[in-house]
Amino acid sequence: MTAAKIIDGKAKAAELTAVITAKTKKLIAEHGVTPGLSVVLVGEDPASQVYVRNKKRTAEACGFNSVQHTLPADTSEADVLKLIDTLNSDPSVHGILVQLPLPDHMDEQKVTQAILPSKDVDGFHDINVGRLSAGHIDKAFVPCTPAGCMLMIEDQLGKDLSGLNAVVIGRSNIVGKPMASLLLAANATVTIAHSRTKDLPAVARGADILVAAVGRARMVKGDWVKPGAIVIDVGINRIEVEIDGEKKSKLTGDVDFAAASEHAAAITPVPGGVGPMTIVMLMANTLASAQRRAASNG
C-alpha cells in the first residue's frame, strides 16, 4: 500500500495527444499545412527501434506526416549530414529528429548541430539550449523529457514554484541542465546534484521537488525523500528479476519506488510516468514548428 499519489503519465499524455490532434486538424483545415516529422535512425539498436516505432505511431495518431529514414550502421557521417541538409531545405518537414545514440564513428554533436534550430524538435541545438538558459522559453524548443516533467510538476504544484526547493540529480544536456532551467524559470530554488555531490542523500532530502535522472536503477532510496515531496523519476533501467524461478527483464526507474512512495506526496511510476510524456512533447514541438511555418507564410 503506497501513501503517495501516482502521477499517471499515460493519462496525461493521452489528454495532450487529443489536444494536439484537434489543433493539427485545425491547422490542416485553415492553412493546408500538415505537420511533418522526419526521424533518422542509424543502425539497429533495439531500444532505439522501439522508441522510433512509438514516435511514428504517436505522430500518425496525431495526424502528422511521419517519415522514417533508416540507415545501416556503417553509413558515413557525411551521408547523414547530407540527409539532414535535404530535410532542412524541405518545406514539408517541420521537425527533424536524429535518434541517439549514433554509431561510434559519428560525432553526435556535429550531427545534432547540423539540424536547423527551427526544426530541432528535440531541443538539442546550441541556439535552443541558449534560448532556454536565457529564459526565452517561448522562443526555444525545450528538450522533450524535461518539458514533459515540467507539465507533471505543474499539475501537482501550479505554474509558480516560488519558495520551493528543487533538486535535480543528474547534469546531462538532455535532461538535467534543461530541467534546472525550466524550474528556475518557474521561480524554484534549484540545486543540480550528481554522482560527485557531497552527501547526496542529505541534499535530496532538502527537496520539495526531486527529479532523478542519473540512469542508475533504484539509486534514490526512500529515506532520501522529504515527506510530502513531489518525485519525478526519469530513469529507465532494465534489470533482471526472478519471478517463479525464472529470470525476467524488468523496467525500473532511478528511484526505489516502493520505499519512496511512503514519503512522497506524489510520484511518477516507471514505466507509465515520464516516458509517454516525452513522446507527446515531441509532437507538441513539431506542431509548434508547423504552426510557426504556417504563420510566416501568412
**How far is Cα 109 from Cα 96, in angstroms, rounded to an integer?**
15
99 is catalytic: yes
Structural contact between residues 82 and 55, judged by C-beta atoms closer than 8 angstroms? no
- Measured CA distances, 30 to 33, 95, 288 (Å): 8, 20, 15
User: In a 3-state reduction of DSSP, which class is residue 233?
Assistant: strand
- Alpha helices in the chain, H assignment, sequence order: 9-31, 46-61, 77-88, 108-113, 126-133, 144-157, 176-185, 200-205, 257-261, 274-296
Catalytic option among 12, 120, 122, 291: 122
HSE-CB for 103 with a 13 A CA cutoff = 14
Structural contact between residues 171 and 177, judged by C-beta atoms closer than 8 angstroms? yes
Give the closest residue to 238 by CA, choosing from 33, 22, 50: 50
Q: Quote the cell numbers at residue 8.
A: 499517471
Give the single-character DSSP code of 132. Answer: H
55 is catalytic: yes
Catalytic option among 12, 23, 55, 119: 55
109 is catalytic: no
Give the closest residue to 231 by CA, choosing from 142, 156, 148: 156
Positions annotated as catalytic residues are: 55, 99, 122
